[in-house]
Every structure is written in C-alpha cells, then in structure tokens.
Amino acid sequence: MAHIKLLNEELPGIVGLLNYRPETAKPLLLLAETLLRGPSSLTSGDREIIAASVSWWNQCHFCHTSHAAAAVAHFQCDPGLIDDIKKGLPNTDISDKLRALLHIAHQVQSNGKEVTAEDVAFARELGATDQEIHDTVLIAAAFCMYNRYVDGLGTWAPQANEAYKEMGERMAHVGYGKS
Amino acid sequence: MPHIDLPKDYPGIRSLFVFCHETAVPLCNLVQVLLHDPHPTLTAGERELIASYVSNLNTCKFCTATHSAIAKHQLGSELALVKQVLADPETAPISDKLKALLKIGAKVQLGGKNVTAQDVAIARGKGATDIEIHDTVLIAAAFCMYNRYVDGLATWQPDNEEFYDKMGAQRKREGYTPASINIKLDDQLRTS
C-alpha cells in the first residue's frame, strides 16, 4: 500500500501518483514525452534502454520493467531484452556508442560529478554528439527523479514482465500523457 | 570546463536551458508548480528549504546556493538560518513538521525505498498532510534530477554570493518562467 491515500489505488507505480496530483503530472509527462519520444538522433528504443537501465540501477522495478517493455515495443524484439538490460545487455546487439552513453548514464546515476572528461571524450570518439551527451545525462538524471518518486511513496507494481507488455506498447506508440 | 559546448556567460542550469529549450519548458514548469505556485499548506520558503537541503546532500554547489538564496528571500530571514537548516535541521529553529519532512527528503535522496511507513507516520504525527508528504517526496526526487543535470554536464558554477542573492530576490518576484530564467550573469548583476 502506498504511503499516502491515492484517489485510485488500483493504478500501479507512477500512474497512481500522476492521477493524484494533476498539477505536477503535466510537466512530468511532458518531460518524459520530450526526452523519450521527441525529435532526437538517438532512436526512442535506445533512449528507453537508457531509462530502463538507470531504473534498474536504482532498483525501481516498475520503471525498469515498463521502460524496458517500451524498448521491446520500439524494437519489436524478444521480451528477453527486459532481463538482458538487468545484466548490462550481454546478449543484445547495441552500438558501441550506446554502450559509452550507458556508461555516462551509470555515472550520473551515482552522482553528476562522477562523469569525467574521459567518459565524455570516449563517447565522442564513438560518434556521440553534444546533444546526445546532453540527452543521455538528462534522461539518467530524470529517472533518478521518477524512480525516487515511485518508490519514495511506496507505490505497488505488478511483478511479472508479461504484465507490462500492453503498457510498454502504449508508452512506445501512443506516448506519455496521451490518451 | 563544461563537458559540452554550452553558451558562455550563463551559469549552472541556465546554460542548459539555453542549450536545449525543448526540455527547459517542462523542467521550468515542474519547479514552478513544486516551489513557487500557491500551495494549500506549505509556504514557498519551506519548499525552497527542502530543495536547498537535498541539493546540499547531493553536493551541488549551484543548486544549493541558488535555492538557499531563494529560501532566504521567501522566508524573509537571514541566510544564516538557511545554513543552519542545511547543517542540522534538528537543532534549527523550524517547525517539528518541517523537520520530519526534511528527514523524508534525506531518505529520498539516498533512494526512494529508504522511506519507511514509520518516517511517514512520524511526519503525520507532527501534522503533515498527504499532499505535503507527496510534495516533499517529489521535491526531493526532482532535485536529485536537477542536481545531476547541473553537475553531470560540468556547468559553470560561479563563486559569487552577490549573484546568488540577486537571483534569489528575482526568483521570489518572478518565479520560474522559462523566459525569466534566460538571463545572463552580467545582466543579473546589472539590473536586479
């Protein structure tokens, strides 16, 4: 049970919180829509992998599984990707550039100051642009917020990966804050 | 030196707002609702104290100095009081309710799962409402984002108490609209 009395206790994770406080829901959804589905040279699938990885490092089951399911929907790939993200993607064919960006995201997850000039130079050598480095840092930072919001208020989340299939497809193809 | 090519003369998060306008809009709108818009019970000063306290725990110089100055102006107090809260809320002259909320904020800073039912029950025992608990958790979580954004791209963070103080007065007057934040350091020191 959540730490506060939500208006609809059947809504899982952040969904119940967005429903509880529409004033904050609006910018939170616009931020997610812009970061994950807005125009970018990074594909939405790659950006969802960054979001899901940071959420896993923050041990936020709801955000990890739902954003990993969104990545699966974007790539139309095997849902095994959800668990592969937990292991650091040993069995998924992703670019070296994305691996370098994921390293930057991991540093941000710990603390912004952990990102070094070498981390950034390495990503740049593999083709990352300033905008992509910016977006990676902000996606990682934003999920350090969403994850704390979801867990800090003690929301509930479905356990099984399969329970997130439909949610992931909606996040990928309909978007955030759209009905 | 910043990790990416940010516009010169703009410090901290302002340089990032100028660099990327698309994300600046929701980021400004979120902080406006959380810290500046009218709240049923928490004052703007109390909410700014939570923001500066969490920023200090994350060791983010720019956000700590900025929100400490805004808290000072919103509370109509001395900066010394804000610094006392940052150093040790328990012995600072603030309400027991705010002390309990700051404790929840500190737990959120470490990770959301650290907040226990007991932390929440204690805050409620000191008079905290559900919406105050909600907003405390979200303010603390949001500053775990803003702090990482500002430090993760190694933005320029000036050592200039006068600059932060003027920005504090300006934020109190104008809030966090994307347009009002888009002001250079020089303009700030000239006009405010």
Query: What's the pLDDT tens digit per position in B28-61?
Result: 999 999 999 999 999 999 999 999 999 999 999 9
- 3-class secondary-structure state, position B4: coil
Whether B151 and B63 have beta carbons less than 8 Å apart is answered as: no
| Segment B156-183 mean pLDDT | 88
The pLDDT, as a whole number, for residue A8 is 96
Q: Using CB atoms, which residue from A30, A38, A149 is nearest to B137?
A: A149
Taking 90 as the threshold, does the pLDDT of residue B179 lie above it?
A: no
The pLDDT, as a whole number, for residue A100 is 98
Taking 50 as the threshold, does the pLDDT of residue B183 lie above it?
A: yes
Query: What is the residue-level pLDDT of chain A in tens, covering all 179 positions?
Result: 899 999 999 999 999 999 999 999 999 999 999 999 999 999 999 999 999 999 999 999 999 999 999 999 999 999 999 999 999 999 999 999 999 999 999 999 999 999 999 999 999 999 999 999 999 999 999 999 999 999 999 999 999 999 999 999 999 999 998 76
Domains contained in chain A, CATH given: 13-173 (1.20.1290.10)
Whether B180 and B35 have beta carbons less than 8 Å apart is answered as: no
Taking 60 as the threshold, does the pLDDT of residue B191 lie above it?
A: no
Whether B86 and B64 have beta carbons less than 8 Å apart is answered as: yes
DSSP labels, chain A: --SS--S-TTS-HHHHHHHH-HHHHHHHHHHHHHHHHSS-SS-HHHHHHHHHHHHHHTT-HHHHHHHHHHHHHHHT--TTHHHHHHTTSTTS---HHHHHHHHHHHHHHH-GGG--HHHHHHHHHTT--HHHHHHHHHHHHHHHHHHHHHHHTT-----SGGGGHHHHHHHHHT-SS--
Asked if A21's CB is within 8 angstroms of B108's CB, the reply is no
The pLDDT, as a whole number, for residue A178 is 78
What share of residues in chain B are helix, strand, coil (percent, to 5)? Answer: 75, 0, 25
Between CA A61 and CA A7 the distance in angstroms is: 22
CATH of domain B12-176: 1.20.1290.10
DSSP for residue B6: P
Work out how many CB contacts closer than 8 A connect A with B: 151
Q: What is the mean pLDDT of chain B?
A: 94
Whether A35 and A47 have beta carbons less than 8 Å apart is answered as: yes
Whether A82 and A69 have beta carbons less than 8 Å apart is answered as: yes
The pLDDT, as a whole number, for residue B73 is 98
**Side chain identity at B23, as an amino acid letter?**
T
Asked if B117's CB is within 8 angstroms of A59's CB, the reply is no
Q: Is the ipTM beyond the 0.90 threshold?
A: yes
Asked if A31's CB is within 8 angstroms of B23's CB, the reply is yes
Chain B hits for A112, Cβ within 8 Å: 58, 60, 147-153
Q: Using CB atoms, which residue from A30, A112, A145 is nearest to B152?
A: A112
pLDDT in tens, B85-131: 999 999 999 999 999 999 999 999 999 999 999 999 999 999 999 99
Between CA B129 and CA B46 the distance in angstroms is: 14
Taking the domains of chain B in order of start, what are their residue ranges? Answer: 12-176
